[in-house]
Structure 1
Amino acid sequence: MFMGEFHHNIDAKGRLIVPAKFRAELEQGFILTRGMDGCIFGYPLQQWQKLEQQLQQLPLTKKKVRFFVRFFYASAGQYQLDLQGRVNIDPVLIEYAELKKDCVIAGVSERFEIWNAYKWAQISEQTAQSFDLLSEEMHDLVDFDL
């Protein structure tokens, strides 16, 4: 399980340090792909396989499904950590997420996200302002208590 918020710098070669707390789950490799809201999603291989099974169940007769699946898979790639615990991120993903020097790696349960630090600050502020309302909406969607 991925939890926490970590601030690291991406270097000119596209290498980013992965938090030490995440590395054990990623030793066998992992997948990075375009995420929602302008970030990169990272999945351990086992979790990616579960997600693939769910995506395969989507009806390809629906145009929006085809667009989503195509966009999601087209940027996906398998990665390994180097000996220093870094990942060398593909330039397509760096551009998509607008990664500059300052980055944030956020644990989000079964996946982690890589963010441009400025974007992360913006989305965190927006979420903090509406956190109570969001938790009420979550409760309405499912049997959910914080």
Structure 2
Amino acid sequence: MGEFKHSIDAKGRLIIPAKFRDQLDGHFIVTRGLDGCLFGYPMAEWQQMEEKLKTLPLTKRDARAFVRFLYSAATECDIDKQGRINIPDTLCAHADLTKKCVVVGVSNRIEIWSEDRWQQFTSTTANDFDEIAEDLNIEF
């Protein structure tokens, strides 16, 4: 859980918040995410997701496309001694990561957003939050 702002440097290095580092155990998988962000999964979570992806029907075009898109950019990231990871150019381009970033804890993964996209997403979602909860039948 949580939302943390950091900057990505010219070499594509981003600090992973200390709160997440222990849970990620020094390395994790980063890949293209939905809504224009990146998804980062601890190895155990990634392996569970791989098992689910294997059940998708190979005969379905959308399933093949989704799996290809997800796997083709997936990369194992090691956290260095300064708490940083190196994000490949392909992933930076997907998430429009240029300078200011937001790292968000979401259930079993982290998400890495450009600050601009994150602000857009949160302002849009804040306006619709009650309606979204009602549509999903969420009870608190």
Same fold (TM over 0.5): yes
1:25-64 alignment to 2 at 5 Å? Answer: 25-64=23-62
Q: Which runs of 4+ in 1 moved over 4 A?
A: none
Tell me if the contact between 2:26 and 2:79 (Cα under 8 Å) persists in the aligned partners.
no
2:88 aligned partner, one-letter code: D
For 1:6 and 1:121, how far apart are their aligned partners in 2?
13
For 2:98 and 2:26, how far apart are their aligned partners in 1?
27
SS of 1:84's partner is coil
For 1:97 and 1:40, how far apart are their aligned partners in 2?
6
Structure 1 stretch displaced more, 23-32 or 112-121: 23-32
For 1:131 and 1:103, how far apart are their aligned partners in 2?
23
Among residues 88, 91, 110, which one is paired with 1:93 in the alignment? 91
User: Which residue matches 1:79?
Assistant: 77
For 1:38 and 1:45, how far apart are their aligned partners in 2?
22
For 2:136 and 2:15, how far apart are their aligned partners in 1?
33
For 1:28 and 1:53, how far apart are their aligned partners in 2?
23
TM-score, normalization by structure 1: 0.94
Task: Provide structure 2 residue ranges, at least 5 long, that are not aligned to the other structure.
Answer: none
